[in-house]
Amino acid sequence: SLEKGVLAGYPCLDFKVTLTDGGFHAVDSSAVAFEIASRAAYRQTVPKAGAQILEPIMKLDVFTPEDHVGDVIGDLNRRRGMIQSQDSASGGIRIKAQAPLSEMFGYIGDLRTMTSGRGQFSMEFEHYAPCPRNVADQVVADAKEREEAKKK
């Protein structure tokens, strides 16, 4: 079903199907027969459709003292962040960036360590974007492990 996707069991989004042909026979056609046929078509075509795993991308607003800007930007880059702007603010620098949510866990502790407790940040959801291949492969492998563990 669309609620359990083909890659890692997550719901399918932005999914469109166009039925171009079909047939009806008074004896063999029924609602159940069409449902069975549509499920079979789904199982055959979705793996060929180029499905991608999406991850939430967060909008970040980071404040850091000027003497720690390089460390903060380097850390955001390690977290697959994309720096959008740097602006001077009273007492420091305000950095606007985007980064995947999965990379931001524990960030406040790391930021405070890098900035001797003077750094601050906020984040909010921005959009979804396709995962890099290595991340998607790991998500799929983890999902398979969970499924295997359920079977035991």
Amino acid (1-letter code) at residue 105: F
Average pLDDT, the chain: 88
- In tens, the pLDDT along 74-109 reads 999 999 999 999 999 888 999 999 999 999 999 999
- d(C-alpha 135, C-alpha 148), whole Å: 20
DSSP string, the chain: -TTS-TTTSPPP-S-----------TTT--HHHHHHHHHHHHHHHGGGS----EEEEEEEEEEE-GGGHHHHHHHHHHTT-EEEEEEEETTEEEEEEEEEGGG-TTHHHHHHHHTTT--EEEEEEEEEEEPPHHHHHHHHHHHHHHHHHHH-
Structure confidence at residue 1 (pLDDT): 54
Highest mean pLDDT among 47-56, 107-116, 135-144: 107-116
What's the CATH number for 54-130?
3.30.70.240
In the block, tokens 């969970």 appear at 146
The residue-averaged pLDDT of 51-69 equals 94
| Domain span(s) for CATH 3.30.70.240 in the chain | 54-130
